[in-house]
Amino acid sequence: MQITDVHAIEIAKWDALASVPASDGELMVAHPDFGAFARQDTTMVGIADFVGDLRDREVLELGSGMGEMTTLLARSGAHVTAVDISPASIAVGRRRARLHRVDTAIDFVVAAGEQLPFEPARFDVVVGKAVLHHLDVGRAAPELHRVLRPGGRAAFAEPLGTNPVIAFARDHLPYPGKNPRGADVPLSYDDIRAWEAPFSVAQHREIQLLAMAERALGRGPMPRLRRADDWLLERFPALGRLCRYVIMTMVR
């Protein structure tokens, strides 16, 4: 499939989701800042600690969607550039930012991750949640590296595509919070290595083995399952490919 076809599918999907009417109350965020959000989100394990204090930092959010995380990044004191391919999503993000009175700290940009309209070494931090698997890694990984400053940090939480049972569920079964499938493809280990390749330091950590029940049950963090996962994955690393998500951290 051509990249232009992929983009057309993704724009149509996310524009449709963003066009569903929402009240001001539905756009209010439930957390005081990004750190509080990331520490309780079932798929953002370790990311808040990795990116550190965001006050006065230039932060790029890749795949900003309807602006929930964007608003929280701004409430953390960052100057945020929010990028998404969906104009309708960007419009909702702007509205959400105005409701929270952080719009002056955010630049909203409609763009594809494969061609970022920014000068080199612009950002201290790049973050994203479930965005890399929507992108062409051969085009987007060099762009991500290019716009990050030397020593800058990038962190992403991404669906892992190496468990066939999870793949079947994503394609065929209903579950809480499930979005329609577009042109996205959950990451393989080849994809992960390609994203990591341009960076001086890169690590990834699989999460949600037993704790994938958090998503299936529509619940928040389940500490006992997370501790069991840590024990299992430390002793049997090969089980990582059965996990639902992967945390990727890179340093330029």
Distance CA 238, CA 241 (A): 6
Q: Which pLDDT score, from 0 to 100, does residue 111 have?
A: 98
User: Could you tell me if 186 and 159 are in contact, meaning their C-beta atoms sit under 8 angstroms apart?
Assistant: yes
Q: Which pLDDT score, from 0 to 100, does residue 168 have?
A: 87
Strand arrangement, sheet containing 201-207: 106-110, 79-84, 58-62, 123-129, 148-159, 245-251, 201-207
Q: What does DSSP assign to residue 197?
A: T
Q: Which pLDDT score, from 0 to 100, does residue 221 have?
A: 79
Fold of 3-251: Rossmann fold (3.40.50)
Backbone φ and ψ of 181, nearest 5° = -75, 135
User: Could you tell me if 251 and 200 are in contact, meaning their C-beta atoms sit under 8 angstroms apart?
Assistant: yes
Q: Which pLDDT score, from 0 to 100, does residue 177 have?
A: 65
User: Could you tell me if 85 and 135 are in contact, meaning their C-beta atoms sit under 8 angstroms apart?
Assistant: no
User: Could you tell me if 202 and 251 are in contact, meaning their C-beta atoms sit under 8 angstroms apart?
Assistant: yes
User: Could you tell me if 205 and 46 are in contact, meaning their C-beta atoms sit under 8 angstroms apart?
Assistant: yes
Distance CA 92, CA 107 (A): 13
- One digit per residue, the tens of pLDDT, for the chain of length 252 reads 899 999 999 999 999 999 999 999 999 999 999 999 999 998 999 999 999 999 999 999 999 999 999 999 999 999 999 999 999 999 999 999 999 999 999 999 999 999 999 999 999 999 999 999 999 999 999 999 999 999 999 999 999 999 998 888 888 777 666 777 778 999 999 999 999 999 999 999 999 999 988 877 777 778 899 999 999 999 999 999 999 999 999 999
| pTM, rounded to two decimals | 0.93
User: Hey, how many other C-beta atoms are within 10 angstroms of the C-beta on 39?
Assistant: 15
One-letter amino acid for residue 45 of the chain: V
Q: Which of 227, 232, 137, 224 is nearest to 188 (CA)?
A: 137
